[in-house]
Chain A
Amino acid sequence: MSDVAHDEVIETHHEEHESTGIENRKLGMWVFLSSEFLFFGALISNYLLYSNRGGFEGIYPAEIYDIPFTSVSSFVLLMSSLTMVLAHNALSRNDQNGTRTWLFATAALGSIFLGGQVFEFYEFITASDMTLSTNPAASAFYVLTGFHGTHVALGVIMLLSLWGISRRQSGLSEKQGLNLELVGLYWHFVDIIWIVIFTVVYLLSVPPA
């Protein structure tokens, strides 16, 4: 087989057949995000199970929440969804500078949220002496919010990677545009999970009587 013919065969094998009409990677991302509901659902349920169950020693998370601080953090993460969708919108108009700006803004807002979470954990541990092993309620709180924070950190890394690629190549190609859309879906998902956590864990949680 000649090199040209060989290349054609490889090209043919690389063509994607999408009987659903949706890009395979995009469909895969939606299925992945759908499965993540079960993951976060388990951690939220675990928190609800122990958050106001009496009988444990040590301080409970609901006794020391700083609602004004967490409200600002929630607002920051919510606004990062706006900057993310503006990045996607800019790319759809082939505004590469705008895409980079909004991508960086999203990563910055995500980093501010993470900084807030680190500060919150630090305050809980040093000022209130609530550690991972204080009681099951504290463990459930740290595991849930820490797991969410890990998702945010991964999102920030992906956003900065796209931003770096865009800077190096003076823009994102059409194929890389799909990457931006996938990262965007992931980022919005992290945001909607926090919407649930903020309400259920912070605003509705009460310590045992």
Chain B
Amino acid sequence: MTSEHHSHPTPGQYWKIAAFLAVITAIEVAMYYIDRELGLGFLNAGILITLSAVKFLTVVGWFMHVRFERPMISRFFTAGFVLACALYLVVLSALGVIVVRG
């Protein structure tokens, strides 16, 4: 049907991936409440950003099939993402939203 170069996951595997994503979402929400009780601060931010990154990469890799596509596609996608992150990190640092300590 389409340009598939490797065997894609089965429906059963997709359900398992979705369950994994649901569990991570539940942990994220739990972390929100744990932080409200314990005031974890930067630790909470680090954990939430890491969990979010895991979800992001799982959806991109498995549901968007980047793992199974030609490298050119992941290069295009990564380039756009990295450029956007770099640009706005610089902007937010310049505006004092993100403080970089030297």
Which A residues are closer than 8 A to B by beta carbons? 20-23, 26-27, 30-31, 33-38, 40-42, 44-45, 48-49, 67-68, 71, 74-75, 78-79, 81-82, 84-86, 89, 91-92, 174, 177-178, 181, 184-185, 188-189, 191-192, 195-196, 198-200, 203-204
Contact = CB atoms under 8 A, between A and B. Distances in A.
Interface in B4-61: 4, 8, 10-11, 14-15, 17-18, 21-22, 25, 28-29, 31-32, 44-45, 48-49, 51-52, 55-56, 59-60
Given A34-B81, A92-B2, A195 B59 contact: yes
A49 B85 contact: no
Taking each of A37, A71, A74, A184, which has the highest tally of chain B beta carbons within 10 Å of its own beta carbon? Answer: A37
The secondary-structure label for the interface of chain B is helix
Contacts of A174: 1
A41 B48 contact: no
A191 B76 contact: no
Given A38-B80, A74-B25, A22 B72 contact: yes
Contacts, number: 135
A180 to B, nearest CB: 9
